[in-house]
Amino acid sequence: MSISKSSNASKVLVLPLKTQKISSSATNKLPFTHNVTLTVSMAVGTPPQNVTMVLDTGSELSWLQCNTTRINQPVFYPNRSSSYKPIPCSSTTCTTRTQDFSIPASCDSKNLCHAILSYADASSSEGNLAMDKFSIAGSNFSDTIFGCMDSGFSSNLDEDSKTTGLMGMNRGSLSFVSQMGFKKFSYCISASDFSGILLFGESNFTWLLPLNYTPLIQISVPLPYFDRVAYTVQLEGIKVSEKILQLPKSIFEPDHTGAGQTMVDSGTQFTFLLGPAYTALKNEFINQTGRALRVLEDPDFVFQGAFDLCFLVPLHVTRLPDLPPVSLVFRGAEIKVSSERLLYRVPGEVRGNDSVHCFTFGNSDLLAIEAYIIGHHHQQNIWMEFDLQNSRIGVAQVQCDVAGQRFGIFH
């Protein structure tokens, strides 16, 4: 069945969210890439072609790899779809609805709408805007606008070899959720078996704990470093155990250029804090774990270019010691990061008889990112509701594998 946009306000779609492990080389300075991405599966075109897309609340335009010369890598074949329609550069879609792209859309030699997308990890994607039918959880969405990409630079070839593209889910007019007309979407990521659920529509279930809401921050005047279509919230403080870090409120406020916003981003694995906040958290975490953890004293080792606080854990140890939780305090809500989510074992990194575990909060300054970013690793076992109609994000602690079973989703 084909769904009209206006009818989606009351509809609910549920589909599995899968977590995909990406192998990475164990060099001293790893590129800023993700070892884990969240993916969803659907079908595109007529007849339908199965695709796997990375779920990204930090991006607007959804896109698929359309370069059919790629060997042993998933691609979408536009010439095999009778419902595929390229978008001309003279259309209003190309001239007005691409205004939030970091690089303006342009005309190619065939007078088609050409887009170049760039991302924080220095990867980019380039191709044409087009429309086709997307089939998701048994419902069809015709004339969905997406990018059919034929070139680009990737910072993670292994990730590219497993996914066909990216599902843009931010607040821009061309994002997947905006085009489908849903007023809300939610997801829940399991910490145990790397799976979860993605839900479009209402999530007011009796078994779900009451959600704590934090308002989305919006600005009326465009600022050069402020992403107006991101899910921006107000970070008000950081706690280690119950000790609140002594930081001025101004540290968490965007400056006059817009730099310093706090974004909730499912397309980023870990969490990044601006320099002063990161340094204060790092020092307090070391202070509170001094008896339980040994710091790796190696200034040349910086995991993924931004994580310079790492610890040595004996290889025979199967369970980490008790660690003080780190809480991100927002206006009206809190995200508490505890136990194994605080440290990440670096694949393949061994020092003598010790493995290397890095603190999962990174320093934005080391990557020249002018923002706080809350990654999906710290959203595990939290019901994350994006309420577009009321411009807010709701959070509640929940066992996501159990939540998935309630919807009949088993991985």
Task: For residues 232-256, give the mean pLDDT.
Answer: 96
Considering the chain, what is the average pLDDT of its residues? 87
Task: For residues 53-60, give the mean pLDDT.
Answer: 90
**Tell me, what's the pLDDT at 22?**
46
Please say if 265 is a catalytic residue: yes
| Per-residue pLDDT tens over the stretch 318-352 | 899 999 999 999 999 999 999 889 999 999 999 99
Q: Token pair of 235, please?
A: 């970070």
Which residue in the list 121, 265, 308, 387 is annotated as catalytic?
Answer: 265
Dihedral Cα 402, 403, 409, 410, nearest 10 deg: -20
Question: Percentage of the chain surpassing pLDDT 90?
Answer: 63
**CA dist list (Å): 148 to 19, 113, 144, 219, 382:** 24, 11, 12, 31, 33
Cα radius of gyration rounded to whole Å, the chain: 21
Which residue in the list 56, 132, 308, 387 is annotated as catalytic?
Answer: 56
Higher pLDDT, 408 or 376: 376
**Tell me, what's the pLDDT at 102?**
81
pLDDT band at residue 148 under the 50/70/90 scheme: very high
Q: Token pair of 23, please?
A: 């192998």
Quote the CA–CA distance of 172 and 115 in Å, as a whole number.
15
Higher pLDDT, 221 or 21: 221
> Which residue blocks in 127-180 are alpha helix, DSSP H?
157-160, 176-180
| Per-residue pLDDT tens over the stretch 246-288 | 999 999 999 999 999 999 998 888 999 999 999 999 999 999 9
CB 130 within 8 A of CB 87: yes
Q: Taking 50 as the threshold, does the pLDDT of residue 33 lie above it?
A: no
Please say if 56 is a catalytic residue: yes
Higher pLDDT, 156 or 185: 185
**Tell me, what's the pLDDT at 163?**
82
CB 184 within 8 A of CB 392: no
Task: For residues 307-314, give the mean pLDDT.
Answer: 96
Q: Taking 80 as the threshold, does the pLDDT of residue 122 lie above it?
A: no
